[in-house]
Each structure stands twice: as structure tokens, then as C-alpha cells.
Structure 1
Amino acid sequence: MNKLIPIFLVLILAACTSETKEETGTQTENTSKPENNSKTILFFGNSLTAGYGVGLEEAFPAKIQNKLDSLEMDYTVVNAGLSGETTSGGLNRLDWVLNQKVDVFVLELGANDGLRGIPLKETKANLQAIIDLVWEKNPDTKIILAGMQIPPNMGQDYTTEFKNIWTDLAKTNDVKLIPFLLDGVGGVPSLNQGDGIHPTIEGHKILAKNVWEVLEGVI
């Protein structure tokens, strides 16, 4: 059974739960609930995570859910990808996303910052703030950073420093790093859609392999 959950459904469920508590008052606290032992892996990112052009069911988080199901591992993947998202936008919506317990948090943001030429210090600070907030909500959450690179349009210095953001954050926070999420896909026309940026279905299969190489050791 595919347990992939898009984030909008999670938010609806959270809202419904909150409404129920308001209606029943303190009775809710004494009501026994079925225990759910399934652990949650949350992918927090932009259009790459959201599966722009291919749909949620073909995006790499769904491929990860399929892999987990095939191995009979009790994990539920939540896709919290939002097309066009920057690190600043991600930071602003993070509180909503963290209304649930998250066992593994895969952070895939920053590409849109680079494409827009956002100052590198700002991008790095936002990513660090996201990491801090995740651990503030749940210190036991395991965080994985999805490294990103951009074409040299902004100049070699910017491109190199941009790439180093994820390496530096991984070392500083002692978290796992996917060196380059688009490894084997970026710059390969046959694995990208017409815009040359967003992976095809076949491209997403490779992204899932890149993620699994690191995720497997974490879970």
C-alpha cells in the first residue's frame, strides 16, 4: 500500500484534529487513540520535490515510498514540496509543516535562490534557521541535506561558494549530505523536461537513487 502523503492533506488532517479538540474539550486528552508506529520521512523542498511536470506519484519522494514499501519498512513519506519555493519562503511556512512528528527531515531548498542570485549569506542563514527550527520542534529528528549546484551564469566565485553552502552546513551541524541531488541528471537533455531544469520521470528515478544512497544509512 502506497503511504505517500502530500503536505496539503497533512495540513487538512491537522486542522480537523485541532477542531475536534476544541469541540470536545478536555475529553480528548482522555480518549485512547490507536497507536501508529509508522515513522515519518518528510521531504521539504521546491519544484524538484513537488514533481513539477510529472506529478507527485512520479516524483522522487514517491519512488522512495515505493522502495520502503517493497522492503516492508514501516515509514510514511510526506511530500512537502512547493514549486518556486526559496529558502526564505520555506522558512516562513515551516511551522505549518512541523505540526506533526518527523523522524527524518530531508531538506531540498536553495536552487531557486541561486537562480535568482540571492545573496549567499542569506541562503545559508535561512537553511541554518530551518535546521534549527526542526530541532527546536523535535531534537531527535534526523536531518539530511540535499546538496545543490547551479550553472556558472552568476560567475565562478558565486557558483563555487553556492556549492559549498551544503558542505559547510553538513559539517557544522553534523548531518548527512546528498552531495548533489541532480547528480547524473543535471545537464542531461534526455533526463530533463523541455525547460532543461526539471527532471523527467526517468530523471526522478535517478534522483531517488541519489537520495536512497544516503537515506538507507540513516533509517
Structure 2
Amino acid sequence: MRNLAATLGLIILAPGAANADPVTIVALGDSLTAGYGLAPEDGFVPQLQRWLDEQGAETRILNAGVSGDTTAGGLARTDWALVPETGAVIVTLGGNDLLRGLPPEEARANLDAILTKTGERGLPVLLVPMIAPGNYGPDYKAAFDAIYPDLAKAHGARLAPPFLAPILAMPDRGAALQDYMQPDALHPNPAGVALVVETLGPEVLALIEGAK
């Protein structure tokens, strides 16, 4: 009887153990992903990991953010960033292309190539847009802003709200920058990251479901 009970226990527990295997998500990005200017525990990836843990999501996020990376830099390291256990990918690139005023067609080509590589691996992707400022002119802005929805549609990726949307959408822009951004006005502070996570967290949950 004891052996039978033990056998039954293994049969009952085995499916649960299989379902408990965490989905490994690679967060491929730049300083916004890396957590520039923040204590390690306050960055985007650690805060997102805690948020997902609180939701009971079985996942592990790998921080593949490199400060200063352009879309070209992200493309150059995509192959080795996608470790064998990768089950899904978050792509947050383009901010440094904007800071340098690089041609939108170059960013489009690089992101297209990144999504092609993830597609070849059969990996679901959450594509997080960057929004171009108006100082490069309306044509530049229109061309750059169109990259993300166009590529998400072409590759079947999930399109997230822009990374800084919950901060920049606040009615008092000056107060938002003071309360939720670092002094450089480019990177969110811990409170700002928390707002970003609240917005992107549900998108990542959907990404996890798509990876199962």
C-alpha cells in the first residue's frame, strides 16, 4: 500500500511539476531595460520580476539590457542573448537611435532583423515602442513612430504601449518629470519604473501565456 500511495503521489504531482517550469523571458534593450542610474533592485527587470511573482506567474526574466545600445547594437548581440532556454522576448530598443538622430529606416531594418531572428526560433515577442520627439521634424517623427506597429503586424509580435507612456501621458508634464524621472529627464526613477511596470506587466502576462 505504501508503494502504491507513493506511485499515485508521483502520478498526481508530475503534471503540476511540469506546469511549474518557469518561462524564461529575455529582456533585450538599452539603458531603460538595464536600469541605468538605479539601485539594482529598482530597475525595470527586478521590479517587473517582483510584479509578476506577485501575480503568481511562473517566469524568470533575464536582463539583456545594455546602456547606450542602439537597434544596431541590439541586433549584433541578439544571437547570443537568446540563450537556449529562452521562451519569450521583450524588445525595447530605439531610444538611442532617437538621441543620435539616426535614420528611421536603419532602426526599422535592425528591428526587422531582430524580429526575424526571434521568429526563426518560434519565440513570442513583446515589442515596446519608442516615440520620436518633434524636434527632428514631422516627417522623421511619422517615419519613426510607424516602425513599431508596422513590424509588430508583419511579424505577429505583441505591440505594447510605449515604454514611458504612463509618465508622458500625465497632464502636468513638468510635475511628471520631477516626480517620476531622473534628473536627465530620459530615464525613470524607481517610482517611474513602478508606473511603467504597472502598464507593461499585463502585456508580459499575455506574452507568458503565448509562450506556454
> TM-score range with shorter-chain normalisation?
0.7 to 0.9
Aligned to 1:174: 156
Aligned to 1:71: 55
Which AA in structure 1 matches 2:185? G
Aligned to 1:22: none
Instruction: State the alpha-carbon separation in 2 of the partners of residues 85 and 56 from structure 1.
Output: 19
Instruction: State the alpha-carbon separation in 2 of the partners of residues 155 and 57 from structure 1.
Output: 38
Decide which of 14, 19, 38 is 2:22's aligned counterpart: 38
Aligned to 1:131: 115
Given the two structures, how large is their TM-score scaled by the length of structure 1?
A: 0.79
- Please give the secondary structure, in 2, of the residue aligned with 1:105: strand
- Percent identity between the aligned chains? 36
Q: Are 1:200 and 2:165 an aligned pair?
A: no
Instruction: State the alpha-carbon separation in 1 of the partners of residues 207 and 117 from structure 2.
Output: 20
Aligned to 1:184: 166
Instruction: State the alpha-carbon separation in 1 of the partners of residues 77 and 52 from structure 2.
Output: 27
Which AA in structure 2 matches 1:79? N
Instruction: State the alpha-carbon separation in 2 of the partners of residues 214 and 74 from structure 1.
Output: 15
Instruction: State the alpha-carbon separation in 1 of the partners of residues 56 and 151 from structure 2.
Output: 32
Shift in Å, 1:210: 1.9
Decide which of 80, 83, 92 is 1:96's aligned counterpart: 80
- Please give the secondary structure, in 1, of the residue aligned with 2:167: coil
Root-mean-square deviation (CA), in Å?
Answer: 1.6
Bigger radius of gyration among the two: 2
Shift in Å, 1:185: 1.7
- Residue deviations 1:108-153, cap 9 Å, x none? 00111112111111100100101111222x21x1101001112211
Q: Are 1:47 and 2:28 an aligned pair?
A: no
Report if the CA contact (8 A) 2:57-2:205 is conserved.
no
Instruction: State the alpha-carbon separation in 1 of the partners of residues 24 and 39 from structure 2.
Output: 21
- Structure with the largest fraction of helix: 2
Instruction: State the alpha-carbon separation in 1 of the partners of residues 99 and 193 from structure 2.
Output: 20
Q: Unaligned regions of 5+ residues in structure 2, if any?
A: 1-17
Given the two structures, how large is their TM-score scaled by the length of structure 2?
A: 0.81
Aligned to 1:11: none
Report if the CA contact (8 A) 2:119-2:155 is conserved.
no
- Please give the secondary structure, in 2, of the residue aligned with 1:184: helix
Instruction: State the alpha-carbon separation in 2 of the partners of residues 99 and 66 from structure 1.
Output: 22
Decide which of 97, 116, 133 is 2:100's aligned counterpart: 116
Instruction: Write out the 4+ residue segments of structure 1 that deviate beyond 3 Å after TM superposition.
Output: none
Shift in Å, 1:159: 1.3
- Residue deviations 1:9-39, cap 9 Å, x none? xxxxxxxxxxxxxxxxxxxxxxxxxx99221
Work out the number of aligned pairs and report it.
183
Which AA in structure 2 matches 1:44? L
Report if the CA contact (8 A) 2:44-2:197 is conserved.
yes
Q: Unaligned regions of 5+ residues in structure 1, if any?
A: 1-34
- Please give the secondary structure, in 2, of the residue aligned with 1:213: helix
Instruction: State the alpha-carbon separation in 1 of the partners of residues 40 and 25 from structure 2.
Output: 15
Aligned to 1:154: 136
- Residue deviations 1:49-76, cap 9 Å, x none? 0111113321122122112222332211
Decide which of 188, 196, 205 is 1:216's aligned counterpart: 205
- Please give the secondary structure, in 2, of the residue aligned with 1:106: strand
